[in-house]
Chain A
């Protein structure tokens, strides 16, 4: 595998288009991998703003002839879902070099339209409230999580505060200046208890992954396990589970290692509570004591979590948000993470979460990656 990301931008230059961002990510990943355009025979894409174009239109714009193409619309899980299918295609010999792209550029009004028409339940029952996007749902969910685990805002703060410290070493992150506990607590309220730094900045950008047959010529990254969960609770639960808990045992069994063996984790961070929920479901939180985990692992140990800064600091480029952590993990395992390189990074875990169906996300996925170098 190889990975690339375009520069993320809060205020992209006039004339920026989603297709051009995806093309930029495509070119970058081929350059990094040393693969020619004509060797690409598979293409997968996730984008909220590519419409009315589809994968075939993108293939035409990029000038690639394909044996395999697909799109995925599952928001924060789209990249891992594409990856799962791409791995099957490559293993089966259907395609040799699959490029997976994810990215978005929102014109004024595009983002508001997306969050008001995310699905039919949203259009019919949430937009007329108006909830104004997912912040309200995750504010309510975070309240439940606080009550369940006895957590305060100072506990959640340690997720964006620790990630910001990583972002300072990532030239691609949109927010790199230090973030203190006081900054977090004093930030404008978005939807109680969520403040500005609990929510991802919407930006423009694109990410790319190349999946190829095993290379014996240099270091690579292998996917040891990948498990997904869709609609695990029929929206009848409290949102404090994502579905990852129900696949965790199978996942670690397939990976052949456990949480204690992981060198870095890229956990889908649309909101701090969701990061902590996923880590707990996957067994990273000893005794389920979340407060101790954030104080000891994140604050004191500086455990490598979302080492790019995550979406909370690097930004969320629409559907690229689901690929951002995967790109970071691959770059870390290939030793390409620059100033923020985790020494000796060998094993990584990447998650995806999203597609708010009505009350909370309906999709989750987790991948175990290992360096072959």
Chain B
């Protein structure tokens, strides 16, 4: 199972996804890859039979993920990566 990486700013400690060149919060240039781990699905939709969720990770990252069809608004999800796509599995 492939890991989804977020990018933690080495200056201010806040995370970004997708990776930026300069940290949007502090302008820092150096980032360390960090496993995304768990998040919460804040909205869920589907398009052409693909379930798509907006996932909030901690208080700093919002990303779009391919979601397990069991994921609903408010679901806690575990994030992984699949060829660049964030994937949200039900926990």
Residues of B within 8 A of A126 (CB): 64, 85
A124 close to chain B: CB less than 8 A: yes
A121 close to chain B: CB less than 8 A: yes
- Min Cβ gap A193→B in Å is 8
A144 close to chain B: CB less than 8 A: yes
Instruction: Report yes or no: B47 in contact with A125, Cβ–Cβ below 8 A.
Output: no
A51 close to chain B: CB less than 8 A: no
A240 close to chain B: CB less than 8 A: no
Residues of A within 8 A of B64 (CB): 125-126, 129, 131, 136-137, 140, 358-359
CB within 8 Å of A: which of B44-69?
44-48, 50, 52, 54, 62-66
- A135, A190, A234: the one contacting B24 at CB < 8 Å is A234
B82 close to chain A: CB less than 8 A: yes
- B42, B46, B54: the one contacting A192 at CB < 8 Å is B46
Residues of A within 8 A of B44 (CB): 140
Residues 28-56 of B, flagged 1 when their CB comes within 8 A of A and 0 if not, give 00000000000000111111101010100
- Interface size band for B: 20 to 34
- B18, B48, B52: the one contacting A140 at CB < 8 Å is B52
Q: A140 CA to B51 CA in the complex, in Å?
A: 11
Instruction: Report yes or no: B84 in contact with A190, Cβ–Cβ below 8 A.
Output: no
Task: Name A123's closest neighbour in chain B (CB-CB).
Answer: B84
- A121, A130, A136, A359: the one contacting B45 at CB < 8 Å is A136
- A124, A132, A140: the one contacting B84 at CB < 8 Å is A124
Instruction: Report yes or no: A136 in contact with B84, Cβ–Cβ below 8 A.
Output: no
Q: A235 CA to B61 CA in the complex, in Å?
A: 10
Task: Name B85's closest neighbour in chain A (CB-CB).
Answer: A128
Q: Identify the interface centre among B50, B54, B82, B83: most chain A CB within 10 Å of its CB.
A: B54
Task: Name A144's closest neighbour in chain B (CB-CB).
Answer: B43
The secondary structure that dominates the B interface is strand
Instruction: Report yes or no: B50 in contact with A130, Cβ–Cβ below 8 A.
Output: yes
- B42, B43, B47: the one contacting A131 at CB < 8 Å is B47
Residues of A within 8 A of B65 (CB): 129
Residues of B within 8 A of A135 (CB): 47
Residues 129-154 of A, flagged 1 when their CB comes within 8 A of B and 0 if not, give 11110011101100110000000000
- Min Cβ gap A235→B in Å is 8
Q: A255 CA to B51 CA in the complex, in Å?
A: 45
A191 close to chain B: CB less than 8 A: yes
CB within 8 Å of B: which of A165-200?
190-194
- Min Cβ gap A232→B in Å is 12
Instruction: Report yes or no: A136 in contact with B47, Cβ–Cβ below 8 A.
Output: yes
A236 close to chain B: CB less than 8 A: yes
Instruction: Report yes or no: B18 in contact with A132, Cβ–Cβ below 8 A.
Output: no
Instruction: Report yes or no: B18 in contact with A190, Cβ–Cβ below 8 A.
Output: no
Q: A124 CA to B5 CA in the complex, in Å?
A: 13
Which B residues form the contact surface with A (CB < 8 A)?
17-18, 24, 42-48, 50, 52, 54, 62-66, 82-86
Name 10 extra pairs, CB < 8 A, besides A132-B48, A135-B47, A193-B45: A121-B18, A125-B86, A131-B52, A136-B47, A136-B52, A137-B64, A139-B52, A140-B52, A144-B42, A358-B18
A-B contacts, 11 listed (Cβ < 8 Å): A124-B84, A125-B86, A126-B85, A128-B85, A129-B64, A131-B47, A132-B47, A140-B44, A192-B45, A193-B45, A236-B24
